[in-house]
Structure 1
Amino acid sequence: MRALTLAALLFPFLHTALIGAEKDRMSEAAALRARVESTREESEIKAEVRKADQKELVRPAPKGFKPEDVRRKVRVTLVPRETTIKVGESFWYRLELQNVGKESIEYHESPSFLKDGLRWDMLKWGFEVILPDGSREKMILGRYYEERNLDHRPRRPIDVPDSKNLTETEARTWARRDSLRRNAQRDFHVTLRPGESIITKPWRWVYDEEYLERFRRNEPILWPVPEGTFRELRTVFRFKTPGKYKVVGILRDPPPSPPDEEFLLKMERRGFSRNSILGDHDRYVSRALGHVESNWVTLEVKP
């Protein structure tokens, strides 16, 4: 009788605990499904962006192209819009990155300088200049004092299509997908088959005055893309004096340094295999494109 009474007393608590555990399992399952769905959705959006970038910025191999007798190699070509400018003007250019080796190359930037001249992927791309006196300087990308003010420029609210007819769930779904797409568009990931080339996307700096005027007129595009295939090189360096200059574009994609013994032991203590770590390093080394300089462009600067 005593055991029966005790069981009867404990049943409500056990029942509640079982229900709670079941709810937790259902909640975890729902969270897992949401993560899987989000990952699938993100992968789909990245694939869409990658396909669009491949179509827009990758050019086919020229007729009669023959790869060099090497597994992986790229060539960088710097094409000027003009070779004569005035003091204080910007240099306009186009970069072309061609796969001249025998194997296809997976090329990746995050965020992408080739797509947006205001961004650069850990200084993967750089420019240097030889001055009229023969000295050589780095042309550091961007102008910090200008770019720091970008956050103060007004922005329009994001226009959600047919927002009045969307349910709350549909609106959240649209916002999530829009955020994923914007993030994907910052990066650049394409496949370069032998002979194919990437070309830089046209771009120019938009001053505050122009931006604010376009905002005031409620124009749909606040940061217009210039016509043609050239872009402005926005750097700290300025062409201040007349004379002949030489400019070169540089791709810096060196192989990573090998892991040292301390790092290997640390990762082994965390359960990672030494062979897997060294194997990953070898794969990264095999993908590196190295230090590649373009042709030099002679630029005459006039008063």
Structure 2
Amino acid sequence: MATGTHGQSLGTRARSVAVGVAVAAATALSGCDGGTPADQGSEATTSAETVRSSSSSPSPSTTEQDFPDVRSAGVPDGVPLTHSDGLTITEDDTVVDGQEVNGRIIVQANNVTIRNTKVTSSTDVSPLQIDENAEGTLIENVEVDNSGEPGLGILIRGDDTTVRAADIHSAEDGMRIEASNVLVEGCYIHDMQRFSGGHHDSIQIRKGDDITLTGNNLQSYKASTYDPQNAALQIGSLVGDDPISNLVVSNNLMNGGNYTINGGRSGDTDSARYTNNQFGTDYRYGIVANLQQGSIWEDSNVDHESGEPVR
């Protein structure tokens, strides 16, 4: 058994993911996600007063599509891990494989590969950071544990980055993207840690073109505390003046948030496509808000349980 797990075997894919934990009572929520339906001045399209509970309907049924969880994302079962302190990578083409890193990994070189590795750090910055001039990074079968601290699980500032089959948890935010040509696929982002005044998103995009998010399980909703947090996908607070172009969000399972997807302010994106995604019902206000001009929302975006189109 790999040491980078939560006590469950890894390496197999889940047939379904339970997203409908019943809420027995209304829970008072603190922090900036609880007070407003949209991010930093974005105008919300709908509103509600309390967390939407799945207690009125049965748990989601098994679906044909597989979504990642702790059994399929993170370090695979049986991979031995070698203990290591934090790493700053400055040499091109470096490969980090089979490590248990107690500290941060900072990538400052090109074409770096990090795979079959667990990163544990109590930083308030980011346990795994790809710097701006570091291009071509591959992160694969990695677990990122922020130890319940207010950091960003993975911060991507380098172009041409791929994150595949990562298990990211126990951070204030799961992933932040500030780069172009980024692919995030097969990842499981869950159990984020709430902090007063925090802004808790599974993924936030602040900059970049040609970003693809596909086949991920983005659980903004934290079942243990009945907390929807802010968003599974948040676009906004852009770095620079260029809008986000050619964003593709497909074949993901997303659940929770004030709005599960918040498209940000006017002008934040100029082209985006949302297709074949499934949605849970543990949100506070609704599934989607603030989709900007140039965003295409297809009828293939459906309720995870019923299969009915949602918007």
Higher RCO (C-alpha under 8 Å, 6+ residues apart) = 1
More strand by share: 2
TM-score, normalised with respect to structure 1:
0.21
Larger Rg: 1
